[in-house]
Amino acid sequence: MISSPTPQSIVSAPRLPQGTTAWVLASGKVGHEVHCLGIARELGLEPVLKQVRPRALFAALTPFGPIDPRDRATKPGSLLAPPFPDIVFAAGRVTVPYLRYLRRVSGGRTFAMFLQDPRTGAGAADLLWVPEHDRLRGENVLVTLTSPHPLRPHILEAARRSPDPRLAHLPHPRVAMVLGGPSAHHRFEEKDVAALTRIAGDLAASGCGVMVTPSRRTPPDLIKALAQALAGQPAFVWDGEGDNPYAAMIALADSIVVTGDSVNMVGEALAGGVPVQVYDPSGGHPKITGFINKLVVAGHVRRWAGALERWDNPPLDATSLIASEIARRYTAFRGSPPL
């Protein structure tokens, strides 16, 4: 098992040799793609995105079954047609057979990186990454507390140098509210809508500049309630029109309030280097609760307790660490040093 140092400081990941090619086998879930693309771009790669869409029977057989025969590399128009990449990134159960097939059909020349637990063991890839709350361990398994993401330091710094005009006029302290929504384990009940609306209204009334970004899962009634509560206040609620200024909100925030239904959202909030407070919606899951509890114990987040709290909270970011380990492993795999 490869464990990351604590805290997960931001380091500069080495670049791979010029001309290194990469694919991302995408499962259709945005969270999976974000993980893969964030790491690939940290390595200086711009991978080709390959959407894996097996027919129902073959999807049901994943992760242990074969790929859909129509996707074999020899089939016309196959997403796996050669030339094969130097590196392939994959995440999501549906991609596991495709990763296994690609390693075989490439003659072992493609370096395989899988993110999260493939459910088939550590032999599924040359290197695997899992968050601490997953159980998979092994010599080729990298374990970090937070997840990889594309909110790189240079992206946040650029957003600070050229603030989004929709946000630039807001007063300090600026508070970003990052909202998830109902999932398999969490619910956004009436009491949650009321609580989040009250938080936003109280922050604005106290003079904070409030920046709200919903996700695709955020209930429309919550977005509507927040827009009404913040009308005429120093605030911005993204309504789905235009680009989502999510990265700009993280970059410009003096504090962040994030709902605790998503490991990814909490981890991304920590890239900003400001206090992060978590509002727990109804329901829950032991893995997510345990993840947040570890962050609380380590001093990286605090649960919302009725008011903003201030403390020094340096950026916490696993992406560069994961990218560095990939570069090291790929160097050994290829037998040549990274640039």
How far apart (Å, rounded) are the C-alpha atoms in residues 110 and 332? 13
Could you tell me how many residues make up the chain? Answer: 339
Pairing assessment for the beta strands 127-131 and 111-115 based on DSSP bridges:
parallel
Unique residue bearing structure tokens 């909100």 = 249
Structure confidence at residue 7 (pLDDT): 43
In contact, 79 and 55? CB cutoff 8 Å: no
Could you say which DSSP state residue 260 is in? T
3-class SS letters over 281-301 = CEECCHHHHHHHHHHHHCCCC
Structure confidence at residue 3 (pLDDT): 56
- Identify the CATH class of 2-148+319-334: alpha beta
Question: What secondary structure does DSSP assign to 130-182, as a single string?
Answer: EETTS----TTEEEESS---S--HHHHHHHHHS--HHHHTPPSSEEEEE----
Extents of the domains making up the chain: 2-148+319-334, 153-303
For 312, counting Cβ atoms within 10 Å of its Cβ (0-12 exposed, 13-18 middle, 19+ buried), the class is: exposed
Token pair belonging to 52: 């894996």
Same fold, 2-148+319-334 and 153-303: yes
Furthest CA-CA distance within the chain: 64
Using alpha carbons, list the distances in angstroms from residue 13 to 271, 274, 338: 16, 23, 10
In contact, 261 and 281? CB cutoff 8 Å: yes
Element (H, E) at 175: strand 174-178
Name beta bridge partners: 255. Answer: 175
In contact, 229 and 200? CB cutoff 8 Å: yes
The dihedrals phi and psi of 277, each to the nearest 5 degrees, come to -115, 140
- How many alpha carbons lie under 13 Å from residue 138 in its C-beta half-sphere? 17
In contact, 183 and 192? CB cutoff 8 Å: no
Provide the residue-wise pLDDT of the chain in tens; the chain has 339 residues: 665 544 444 455 566 888 999 999 999 988 899 899 999 999 999 999 999 999 999 999 999 999 999 999 999 999 999 999 999 999 999 999 999 999 999 999 999 999 999 999 999 999 999 998 889 999 999 999 999 998 999 999 999 999 999 999 999 999 999 999 999 999 999 999 999 999 999 999 999 999 999 999 999 999 999 999 999 999 999 998 889 999 999 999 999 999 999 999 999 999 999 999 999 999 999 999 999 999 999 999 999 999 999 999 999 989 999 999 999 999 999 885 544
Torsion angle, alpha carbons of 104, 107, 113, 114, to 10: 0
How far apart (Å, rounded) are the C-alpha atoms in residues 4 and 135? 16
In contact, 304 and 283? CB cutoff 8 Å: no
**153-303 CATH:** 3.40.50.2000
In contact, 237 and 212? CB cutoff 8 Å: yes
Structure confidence at residue 45 (pLDDT): 94
Structure confidence at residue 13 (pLDDT): 55
Structure confidence at residue 30 (pLDDT): 86
